Structure 1
Amino acid sequence: CIVLATCLSTHATALNQVPDSTNHPSPGEEVVIVYNTQLRDSIRVAEHYAFARKIPTNHLIGLNLPTVEEISRTTYKTALEQPLLHALESRKLWKITPTQPQPQNPNHPKWQVSESKIRYMVLCYGVPLKISPDPTISEPGVENLRAELRRNEAAVDSELALLPFAKSGYTVTAFVPNRFFNTTNSSLLHPTNGILMVARLDGPTPQIAMQLVDLALEAERNGLWGNAYFDMRGITSGGYAKGDEWINTASKIAKLYGFETYTDTNTATFPSTYPMSHIAFYVGWYDETVSGPFLLDNVEFMPGAFAYHLHSNNGGSLRKTHLWVPGLLAKGATITMGSVYEPYLDGTPDIGAFFARFIILGFTFGEAAYASLPCLSWQTTVVGDPLFRPFGMDLQELLKYFQETKNPMLEWAYLHHVNMILNQKLPYQTAISYLNELELTKRSPILMEKLAWLYIQTGKPNSAILTLQKALALNPSPQQRIRISLQLAELLINQHKESDAAQVYLDLIRKNPPPIILKHIWSISADLIRKHVPDQVPSINSILLKAGVTNLAE
């Protein structure tokens, strides 16, 4: 990404002069669904979402669209924009009326949405993704823009967000500033204020597109739980420091809310050997294609997980899984955002603003996304159910429900409570006592791992070792097992128990982790194993060969 300074001439300021609205019908009635009548899969996704969210049949709009991801500006106008304007008005989903003339402001829009039953538009699998650049478009004032902004390509989502102004017309070169960027009042995000929240149910396959709905609903029932991972680049000055600042802000919000939070400030991204378990949130930058733990066959995303990797072309296609947006969706993420063309850093979502609104203020995904976007008629695609709202429930009521129903998410609710104890700067012993008093701790690798960490913080390594050993016996997830085993082995070595550490490594190797992780484990444990359990080297060599890691144990 090139850093984009604050810029844009006054040709877009007319879109800042519209009234407010606070009309809030039931969630499903606030959505209009758009699908491609040329693709049966597009219809299936639309029907699946409409049924799941109880969206009225009058709110489903089928259009005869190209079956490619990229369309021309002319096709966008004739096949999407104009048919949608007609459908919304003819179905009385919104009403467009003339505005009062303002001779002193010739840029003032001549038409406005004065009434609207909808706030969201959901584009289903098969609706084109992006609008290609059109060199034939010539608009007044463009010569005053910086050279890199004299462009008119855009994400379909971002362009349709300005559908309330389509009848009046607006400049499509560069971007239109989002007047609701950073808003803390979600009710302002409304077509009568000039903004339509557009998201898409899309991805590498129609099955994945439908899965986004199912995962969101599951997380709404049980909450969004798990760990939060943030991968910064260690940039402290210059224009690119803003990217790290956004991610750092997001990490602080996740920790403040009680998520188990892991941060990395090294220049390189998380390596493939990094044990990333139970992912509720992932935010990182700036690899061009999917990398690190997300290359593994099985990635441990939790239902409802938000995953985002900032890169200029992270959403250039939703079918090519080497790119970040489709790649993360294919691995199990529920919601994400991306850029279809070069957005420049200042034109990408402010992830700190997104986290604050999504987690702390309880915005829907669509509301949080559009409150975090500085620009419209630009490059961002928003992927996932825009109604998804996992943080709108009372935590105490949810905890009571979990306890009564023995919900498997209960251990995460208790972990959240422990982290809130720590956020209040109470003594570590308070958290230790809380966990030791819980019957569930004895059966939960999640809580046992946290208890071990607390013992380490209080200078009790032997208690930590015993607790981690118990955690390994409780069937942790594959990635958690790797993390716990590596930490346990390190503690044992520090306590001069190298033979026990060798056995931990040996046990982990026998669990057949992914080849790249297996290779890493052997590289750090080979000397210990050869020294303390040399008779096991032949069996290890067999495991390595079977995994395609050749001759490392010889």
Structure 2
Amino acid sequence: MWAGEAISLRTANKDGYNLQPENVAVIVNTDQPESVQAGEYYLKVRRVPIENLIKVSIPGSPKKLSAQYFAQLKQEIDAQLKPQHQAIVMMWTAPYAVECNSITSAMTMGFDPEQCANTCAPAKHPSRYFNSRSLKPFDEMGYRLSMLLPVQSFDEAKALIDRGFASDYSAPAATAYYLTTSDKNRSSRAMFFPPSGKVAQRYLEIKSLNTDSIRDVQDIMIYQTGLVKVPYLDTLHFFPGALADHLTSTGGDLLSNGQMSSLRWLEAGATASYGTVSEPCNYWQKFPNPAVLLKHYLLGASAIEAYWKSVAWPVQGVFIGEPLASPYKR
């Protein structure tokens, strides 16, 4: 399987991922001064045109929105979007859910009430973008890819934006870590972990390990695992542009005190992550497929493109991070 993926790195790169700053709409919450400040900083660093800034008011910054409230919010945002906008970045931590849906899936694919009848059921509306060859998702599929850029504070948001910008074209000598853990239920996607070896043309080493954790590792570009809580994050070093996530039920419930929040990955130095906002059960299709994520990232996709292409059933999953990070862009 991975030999075929390696061949595609040599051939499919001709397609040319090329998401540009003018293709990104930046949404800020005027009820959060830090959101506005972070949005303005993002425009400056990424040279996003000022007309791409969209202001909305979400008083109280609730974790979860009702379907009715979200419909009004989305209508307000849609009215200000332009045909060239292929992606959306929302500059806040909360809200991150719309009932049982994530706000990123609801913004991109529309709110899906059927999933909420049984959150453990398979998705009835899979993503047509999954592992596709699409380079312009809105033009070709009607999907504007969306991601939350968390704003716990302006300083944290600034550091995340700076990491994303620093990653562009960097292609460092790095390692992708894939951990099959003792938690069998949360290792449901281990069958998609690429075998250990080197991707020489991208200076990347792959390490697929049977262990619950890594520590004191200094060269991470990708870290994917399955645990309720991932230990030793404070001992790790992530390169700018690093992607990291853990398969567990509610990693996307970002401000919960239960299972480990996906925010912990960003706080540890990763640039983008993913987690589910409601109980998904352990369908691999509801989480990033490791082989698909790695393939598209190495082909030069941005973080938002690679992560969105890697999830077959993203209804319950929230994508977080700096969307334009592109360490393997050609």
TM-score, normalized by length of structure 2? Answer: 0.82
Partner of 1:309: 246
Q: Is the 8 A contact 2:202 2:328 kept in 1?
A: no
Partner of 1:245: 191
Give the AA of the match of 1:51.
Answer: K
User: 138, 148, 156: which is aligned to 1:208?
Assistant: 156
Partner of 2:275: 338
User: 120, 127, 136: which is aligned to 1:178?
Assistant: 127
Greater fraction of residues in helix: 1
Correspondence 1:102-251 to 2 at 5 A: 116-132=83-99, 153-162=100-109, 172-174=113-115, 175=123, 176-183=125-132, 185-202=133-150, 204-233=152-181, 242-246=188-192, 248-249=193-194
Q: How many residues align?
A: 304
Residues of 1 paired with 2:183 and 2:246: CA distance? 16
User: 191, 195, 220: which is aligned to 1:279?
Assistant: 220
Q: Tell me how far 1:235 sits from its aligned partner.
A: 8.9
Give the AA of the match of 1:303.
Answer: P
Give the AA of the match of 1:193.
Answer: M
Partner of 2:302: 364
Residues of 1 paired with 2:159 and 2:322: CA distance? 10
Partner of 2:80: 87
Task: Please report the RMSD computed on the Cα atoms of aligned residues, expressed in angstroms.
Answer: 2.8
| 1:60 pairs with 2:41 | no
CA deviation map 1:412-461 (0-9, x unaligned): xxxxxxxxxxxxxxxxxxxxxxxxxxxxxxxxxxxxxxxxxxxxxxxxxx
CA deviation map 1:144-173 (0-9, x unaligned): xxxxxxxxx10000110125xxxxxx7531
Q: Tell me how far 1:194 sits from its aligned partner.
A: 1.9
SS at structure 1 position matched to 2:48: coil
Q: CA 1:190/1:233 → structure 2, altered by over 3 Å: closer, same or farther?
A: same
| 1:352 pairs with 2:291 | yes
Q: CA 1:191/1:26 → structure 2, altered by over 3 Å: closer, same or farther?
A: closer
Q: Tell me how far 1:252 sits from its aligned partner.
A: 5.6
Q: Is the 8 A contact 1:32 1:120 kept in 2?
A: yes
Give the AA of the match of 1:117.
Answer: Q
Q: Is the 8 A contact 2:176 2:207 kept in 1?
A: yes
Q: Tell me how far 1:350 sits from its aligned partner.
A: 1.2
Partner of 1:383: 320
TM-score, normalized by length of structure 1? Answer: 0.51
Q: Tell me how far 1:259 sits from its aligned partner.
A: 2.3
Q: Tell me how far 1:38 sits from its aligned partner.
A: 0.2
Partner of 1:72: 66
- Percent sequence identity is 21
Give the AA of the match of 1:387.
Answer: L
Residues of 1 paired with 2:278 and 2:198: CA distance? 29
Residues of 2 paired with 1:39 and 1:189: CA distance? 30
Q: Is the 8 A contact 1:201 1:210 kept in 2?
A: no
Q: Tell me how far 1:40 sits from its aligned partner.
A: 0.3
Residues of 1 paired with 2:20 and 2:258: CA distance? 32
Partner of 1:414: none
Q: CA 1:224/1:34 → structure 2, altered by over 3 Å: closer, same or farther?
A: farther
Q: Tell me how far 1:262 sits from its aligned partner.
A: 3.2
Q: Is the 8 A contact 1:218 1:303 kept in 2?
A: yes
Q: CA 1:45/1:289 → structure 2, altered by over 3 Å: closer, same or farther?
A: same
SS at structure 1 position matched to 2:189: helix
Q: Is the 8 A contact 2:169 2:329 kept in 1?
A: no
Partner of 2:39: 46
Deviates more, 1:116-125 or 1:204-213: 204-213
Greater fraction of residues in strand: 2
Q: Is the 8 A contact 1:318 1:325 kept in 2?
A: no
Query: Relative contact order (C-alpha < 8 Å, sep 6+): which is higher?
Result: 2
Give the AA of the match of 1:73.
Answer: A
SS at structure 1 position matched to 2:207: strand
Q: Is the 8 A contact 1:229 1:261 kept in 2?
A: yes
Q: CA 1:304/1:192 → structure 2, altered by over 3 Å: closer, same or farther?
A: closer
Residues of 2 paired with 1:318 and 1:203: CA distance? 12
Q: CA 1:206/1:129 → structure 2, altered by over 3 Å: closer, same or farther?
A: farther
Give the AA of the match of 1:349.
Answer: P
Q: CA 1:339/1:225 → structure 2, altered by over 3 Å: closer, same or farther?
A: farther
Partner of 2:12: none
Q: Is the 8 A contact 1:204 1:326 kept in 2?
A: no
Greater C-alpha radius of gyration: 1
